[in-house]
Amino acid sequence: MENFGVGTFVRSRRFGSYFEAGSGVDLDKPAKIVKEEVKQKQKAEDDDDVYEEDDGWVSVLISWIRIIVCFVSMMVTTLIWALIMLPLLPWPYQRIRQGNIYGHVTGKMLMWILGNPIKIENAEYCKERAIYVCNHASPIDIFLIMWLTPTGTVGIAKKEIIFYPLFGQLYVLANHLRINRSNPTAAIESMKKAARAVVDNNLSLIIFPEGTRSQNGRLLPFKKGVVHLALETRLPIVPIIFTGTHLAWRKGSLHVRPAPLTIKLLPPISTDDWTADKTGDYVRLVHDVYVNNLPHSQKPLVE
């Protein structure tokens, strides 16, 4: 999906320091404030300690085997669906549909191979036309969104995705959308073209509004593209919140841990009355939805 290229398995944000060194609070503040800061710090630490990691050699070996099986399995399904879609070249919508079916089968299969416990909340919200918005902190996010998005959904990725072996070609073959991010003017024009394709073909859309993958699981600022797409299509925005994926597969690591994952879908946000002069306000509105629903360990650090 957007960033749908599984070739982008590893995508920087510096892990900033929220608290000062030492005690972590300003002792000159009133006792009530100090107490609240300590509670918040403890809560964040508690959130990070919920999952106890096992980095023993047996766990690492099992992880590598799972990753190899995932890679081989994805190659097989990618080749199968490429053969299915080639005869459908004259019918773009059928290729989109087959691309979604590929995602449902492959995404669910890959998550079964990885073996992480998964909890899905409010799955009923992924059954309507919408712009599905997701936070992005792990390659696992891609597998989950492939699995969950409804048939008739397209993603947006940078145009260079076509160079990713096998998957990039299937992405293009499935008629998903690509944008030119070489400069702001080209990016805006690409977004408008993508929005027209979504409207003309009665499609849904998936996008990762951070524009890149978080290095540590903490939410990054959102780009304005998600709001521009909403203004052009007037589709509601459905937030999909991934929790725990950054613990399951860390950036730069080949060790997939069996951390529990939660996928929480929230009620659609109507965009019918949105106006172009309040773009920044809408970006903050959607971003705040994530801030309010993510655990402390995934909230943005206060600067």
Q: List pLDDT tens digits, range 114-137.
A: 999 999 999 999 988 999 999 999
CA 186 to each of CA 32, 181, 199, 231, 248: distance values in angstroms, whole numbers, following the listed order: 52, 6, 20, 18, 36
Residue 119 CB neighbour total at 10 angstroms = 11
Q: Using an 8 Å Cβ cutoff, are 272 and 234 in contact? A: yes
Residue 94 CB neighbour total at 10 angstroms = 15
Predicted confidence (pLDDT) per residue in 73-116, tens digit: 999 999 999 999 999 999 998 999 999 999 999 999 999 999 99
Residues facing residue 121 across a β-bridge:
264
With CA atoms as reference, report the closest residue to 5 among 195, 158, 206: 158
Confidence of residue 4 (pLDDT cuts 50, 70, 90): very low
If you average pLDDT over every residue of the chain, what do you get?
83
With CA atoms as reference, report the closest residue to 154 among 202, 117, 203: 203
What's the Rg (C-alpha) of the chain? 20
The C-alpha atoms of residue 260 and residue 269 are separated, in whole angstroms, by: 28
Instruction: Tell me the torsion sign for CA atoms 24, 26, 31, 34.
Output: negative
Token code pair at residue 264: 């929480």
Residue 70, helix vs strand vs coil? helix
Instruction: Tell me the torsion sign for CA atoms 173, 174, 177, 183.
Output: negative
CB proximity list for 43: less than 8 A, separation 6 or greater: 296
Domains and CATH numbers, the chain: 31-298 (3.40.1130)
pTM score > 0.85 for this model? no
Give the rounded distance of the alpha carbon of 30 from its chain centre.
Answer: 40
Between 292 and 14, whose confidence is greater? 292
Q: Using an 8 Å Cβ cutoff, are 260 and 244 in contact? A: yes
CB proximity list for 89: less than 8 A, separation 6 or greater: 95
